Amino acid sequence: MRRNEILNKNKKISIIDKGRGLLETIKETCRCQGYFTISDLASKLGMPRSTISDWVKRFLKTGLIEEIEPAKGRKPAKYIHKQDPEMFISPCKRIFVTVDLRASLAEIYHECISIGALNYCAKEYSRSGGSIVNAFIEGSLLRLRVMLTLQREVKVGRPPLPAIGVVGLEFDNGEVELLIKAFGGPAYSIVKAMKYARGVLGIDWFKRGDQYYGKIRLKAYEHLSIGIDDTDREGDGATWALAIELMRELKNRFRDIEPIAHKVIQLYPYINEKTGGNYASLVEIAVPLELKESVLDAVHDIIASRTKSPNTSIAFMWGLTVPERIKKLLSIAKKGRVTVQEVLDSISKLRDVVVKEVTGLRGCIGAVAALACSDPSISMA
């Protein structure tokens, strides 16, 4: 009897250990892509789908996970890991970063469900100085422009000091390690909230006195601006709508890209051949280094299959800085007519700017001009 009790006890421990291991894989998968499926776990762990399914049912009953999307046709059900009991809802949805080595810059993007938290963080980051060049809000994203330099100590604490700041950012082997320093409420976000954001690969934190330091690991992306124009015809289509479709379709095709912004740029309205008010569109996305060429081809295919115009062009620009020639072109295009040749001449020596003709070249005028608005200081109106 005693021998059977020992065997049963060992068996129980074994099952618990398996459950813990599976739960860690679930957490990691949710951190990377925001959710998990049974197929995801079966593939990662090399376990039968039936076994994973049994565990998922058990975790659902105990409240450790939650179904967010039921199975539909061939699409599998999606689940998420429930967070720590003391942190029911993390305000942090996404955290990711783009790196521009040539400009020695990086941009950190923090999507938050709270506009109050966004405004607070933008103000505190801006006051902290250190490695931060600029902090501003676009939509639901806090965007932090940071210098890729040696670490710079920042002072945080009780007012009048800021509550949070970026000490430095290191880029190595396709990943970024972001070191931030915080006090009070922002320190709580380092310890409890940020780890649940999609895109965070891991967080290590430590405390010195009443201040917290957080080392946040993120995958390194490259910033891509996509200018689009002349995709509609009289009574059919809209460039701004096609630009939104483009963002969604790219995310569907490449799960690992991250949408950043969609912008509508007003150009000179008194052009006879315009179909409406003469607006171009800009899409900003974060692209994994290994997907650069594939994404460019996909953008061309998507626009080509959906444009209504015989004059559609796309313009691409890699990096976080906008050349002065592009800014000047936008300024001219807002005040009067610009020719296709003038546009092509202005970008001929720019290595990070490329124009692709889809159905015609006339659209390159607005497409290239729109690229200027990836600079936060440039007005879209």
Q: How far apart are CA 151 and CA 156, in angstroms?
A: 15
pLDDT tens digits, residue range 220-272? 999 999 999 999 887 777 999 999 999 999 999 998 999 999 999 999 999 88
Average pLDDT over the chain, rounded to whole? 88
Domain residue extents for the chain? 2-81, 92-220, 222-374
pLDDT value at 44 more than 50: yes
Cα torsion for 306, 307, 310, 313, to the nearest 10°? -110
pLDDT grade, residue 15 (50/70/90)? low
Compute the average pLDDT of residues 155-165: 92
Neighbours of 243 (CB within 10 A): 23
The reply to whether 222-374 shares the fold of 2-81 is no
190 in Cβ contact with 90 (< 8 Å): no
CATH topology for 2-81? Arc Repressor Mutant, subunit A (1.10.10)
Give 270-296 pLDDT, tens digit per residue. 988 777 788 999 999 999 989 999 999
Contact between 144 and 135 under an 8 Å Cβ cutoff? The reply is yes
The pLDDT of residue 7 is 35
pLDDT at res. 146? 93
Q: Is 375 in contact with 327 (CB distance < 8 Å)?
A: yes
Half-sphere exposure of 265 (CA within 13 A, CB side): 33
Class of domain 222-374: alpha beta
Distance in angstroms (rounded) separating the CA atoms of residues 338 and 367:
12
What is the pLDDT, as a whole number, of residue 193?
Answer: 82
Q: Inform me whether the pLDDT recorded for 29 exceeds 60.
A: yes
User: How far apart, in whole angstroms, are the C-alpha atoms of residue 189 and residue 250?
Assistant: 31
pLDDT in tens, 352-381: 999 999 999 999 999 999 999 999 888 876
HEC profile of the chain: CHHHHHHHHHHHHHHHHHHHHHHHHHHHHHHHHCCECHHHHHHHHCCCHHHHHHHHHHHHHHCCEEEEECCECCECCEEEECCCCCCCCCCEEEEEEEEECCCCEEEEEEEECCHHHHHHHHHHHHHHCCCEEEEEEECCEEEEEEECCCCCCCCCCCCCCCCEEEEEEEEECCEEEEEEEECCHHHHHHHHHHHHCECEEEEEEEEECCEEEEEEEEEEEEEEEEEEECCCECCECCHHHHHHHHHHHHHHHCCCCEEEEEEEEECCCCCCCCCCCCEEEEEEEEEEHHHHHHHHHHHHHHHHHHCCCCCCEEEEEECCCCCHHHHHHHHHHHHCCCCHHHHHHHHCCCCCEEEEECCCCCCHHHHHHHHHHHCCCCCCC
How many Cα atoms within 13 Å fall on the side-chain side of residue 362? 12
